[in-house]
Amino acid sequence: MLKLMLMLKLADRVPTCCRAVRGGGSVSSYFTFQMSCDAVMSHIRRTLSLLRGCRTFSQSARSSSTSISSSDGGLVLRSRSTDVYQNLALEDWIEANVDLQQRSILLLWRNRPCVVIGRHQNPWSECNLPAMRRAGIPLARRRSGGGTVFHDLGNLNLTFFTSKKAYDRQRNLKVVTDALRRIRPELDVHATDRLDIVLNGRFKISGSASRLSRKSSYHHCTLLHSADRSALAAVLRPSCPGIHSNATPSVPSPVANLLDHAPTLQWEELLDAVVHQYNAEFSFSAASALVDPADESAFPGLSSAAAELRGWDWTFGKTPKFSVQTALQLPEEGSSLSSAQLDMDIKSGVIERCQLDVPDDWLPRRLSGGLSDVLVGERFCGHRAAAAFTALLRCESGELRDRLRKLCDAVVTAMG
């Protein structure tokens, strides 16, 4: 235990990143415990207290600490949480609070069903938001770049933390591919130039993203063991037609689960193989500990960081500026259709400009123009748009009200 905590050289302050800022089996059994969670948390708390109370150490104490910690520079942490926001916040907490110049860490985690987009992506382009809402699947934006991924309890996430100098994504992926070859030699797996891992030269089983800071780095990747591929296909498709943006697009690839090609591969066997190979690759004998990111006494400030990641302003408001130009189909009685054109500019998730071109003989310009006006300054959000339209609809009656409602419904649908 002492060795574990000596590996974590924690900063003597609340992390700067925290100031602002769904599978089977029981959650507690999916990782093999090498240490008692309660004991680890207790030790973390004691160590934090000591570090805060002692701003300086004697030379002999520093030498002793360096001697012990330098005998093994690796550590494996396994998150007890399956909440995507807590786990993403845990990544950021470690990066901000652990001295990664002295310590490398492998964090293993998984989430209940969710969709995670990259830092510079557009959620309306990347995922089916209406389908996600119906299924209760949350959306999260991570702080690293890269593309959109679907997580559930059949997907393993691995985060490799190192100093910036030791940053080596190919070597990290080698840990995964070598682990798979060791326990299932029949699997044809290799890492690509795009830093994916593919099976049989075709099926993607892992994707990567990373974040580099001034002195530290982390590289995280997925690994599909037994994910729900039907859910993945249903949610990883666009919500909104006609988007024009410089946001980073995802690159669609055929995917497969390891279990499809290695039916006897158990979850615990996979975890043990990855930990073993991490130690072998980096010449570590890494201690392994279960950690709970919900424990604020062990990870001060993490809950507020998770709350920021959960908020609309981060998830949607950080979307790069984009525009929408799309046709709206306006149903008439019988089988006939009329159409209108929607043209919008959106910045920080808020509508900056809106123009609706509707045939004058279908709806008077004062109504289509009024509808455009009430949208400017609103979030690009169907619920907010519907609420904004309510006052306009109250002021009309008869056929004009029916047509205005159809136009409002078409705009809300176009927003995903």
pLDDT per position as a tens digit, 371-410: 999 999 999 999 999 999 988 888 888 888 999 999 999 9
Q: Is the pLDDT reported for residue 65 higher than 70? A: no
- Structure confidence by residue, pLDDT tens digits, 24-44: 443 333 333 333 444 444 444
- Structure confidence by residue, pLDDT tens digits, 329-342: 888 765 556 889 99
Q: Is the pLDDT reported for residue 226 higher than 60? A: yes
The whole-angstrom separation of Cα 334 and Cα 242 is 27
> CA–CA distance from 7 to each of 68, 187, 360 (Å)?
9, 35, 71
- Structure confidence by residue, pLDDT tens digits, 159-201: 999 999 999 999 999 999 999 999 999 999 999 999 999 999 9
Listed in sequence order, the residues at least 6 apart from 46 whose beta carbon sits closer than 8 Å to its beta carbon are none
Listed in sequence order, the residues at least 6 apart from 45 whose beta carbon sits closer than 8 Å to its beta carbon are 297, 298
SS3 (DSSP) at 220: strand
Dihedral sign (CA 191, 196, 201, 204):
positive
Neighbouring C-beta atoms of residue 331, cutoff 10 Å: 12
Would you place residue 49 in the very low, low, confident or very high pLDDT band (cuts 50, 70, 90)?
Answer: very low
Per DSSP, what are the bridge partners of residue 331? 337
C-alpha triplet 277, 279, 283: angle, nearest 5°: 125
- Structure confidence by residue, pLDDT tens digits, 95-112: 999 999 999 999 999 999
pLDDT for res 73: 83
Contact 407, 337 (CB under 8 A): no
User: What CA dihedral angle connects 237, 348, 91 and 178, to 10 degrees?
Assistant: 40
Mean pLDDT of 130-157: 97
What does pLDDT average to over the chain?
Answer: 85
Two structure tokens written together for 31: 């990782």
